[in-house]
A = this chain, B = another copy of it.
Amino acid sequence: MTTSAVASSDLSPRKRRFREQMHQAREDAIVQAVNRLLAEKGFESMTVDEVAYEVGIAKASLYKHFPSKEHLAAAAMVRILEQTLAHLDGLDDALPPLDKLKSVTQWAMRVHLRGEMPLLPSENSSLRATLMGHQAYLDLLIQVSDRLGEWIEQAQANASLHSGLPPIVVLYTLFARACDPVLGFMKASGQFSDEQIVTLVLSTCFDGLT
């Protein structure tokens, strides 16, 4: 019996759990770093070296956890979608659907302004391929879309949302607001507080410019 076999399977249940927790904690740290770097520089400008440096481990160790840069990005997307879903779950069910939609949008904009919204290029094809083959990502994306889709239809039914717009257009518009470069421009201008930005952009999104 090899030492590695001893290390991996001859441990007490308590020690095994401890190992798994350590493992999980490290992966969380990795994904969090990836998330931050994606928010700051985007996928192409983020380097795996930076990720490794930020986490404080060797690059080769990263690749034991995730097989490619694309999978790192996918993990960050899974993380943000899980957080989104958690936010949706936390909303008071009694709220009118329009208010729920506004609440998610506000939450997403705040995440963005905190520098924690991972931004992916829609063009990059190797990244797209990985995402489209990533079951957990796809499942979460569908879950979030379905939840929002329901609220959109309810809001259109009670006329609080313009019913001439195809629901998918509303959905895309809300998704896009979470990544809107306008948030960054306004922040960079230094003329507005984060909460002012949220208020103003929420208003342009739902009420329009006119």
Residues of chain A at the chain B interface (Cβ within 8 Å): 40-42, 44-45, 98, 121-124, 160-162, 164-166, 168-170, 172-173, 175-176, 179-182, 184-186, 189, 191, 200-201, 203-210
Contact = CB atoms under 8 A, between A and B. Distances in A.
Given A186-B172, A191-B168, A162 B42 contact: no
A168 to B, nearest CB: 7
B210 A42 contact: no
A124 B182 CA distance: 16
A150 to B, nearest CB: 16
A70 to B, nearest CB: 14
Contact of A210 (B121, B122, B161): B161
Nearest to A164: B203
A interface, over-half SS: helix
A189 B172 CA distance: 11
Contacts of A170: 204, 209
B165 A176 contact: no
A209 B205 contact: yes
Contacts of A200: 165-166, 169
A181 B182 CA distance: 13
Nearest to A184: B122
A171 to B, nearest CB: 9
A210 B45 contact: no
Closest 10 CB pairs of A and B: A208-B208, A44-B44, A207-B208, A176-B182, A172-B185, A172-B182, A41-B123, A206-B210, A206-B209, A206-B208
B210 A165 contact: no
Given A172-B182, A179-B181, A182-B172, A205 B203 contact: no
A86 B169 CA distance: 31
Contacts of A210: 98, 160-162, 206-207
B204 A189 contact: no
A172 to B, nearest CB: 5
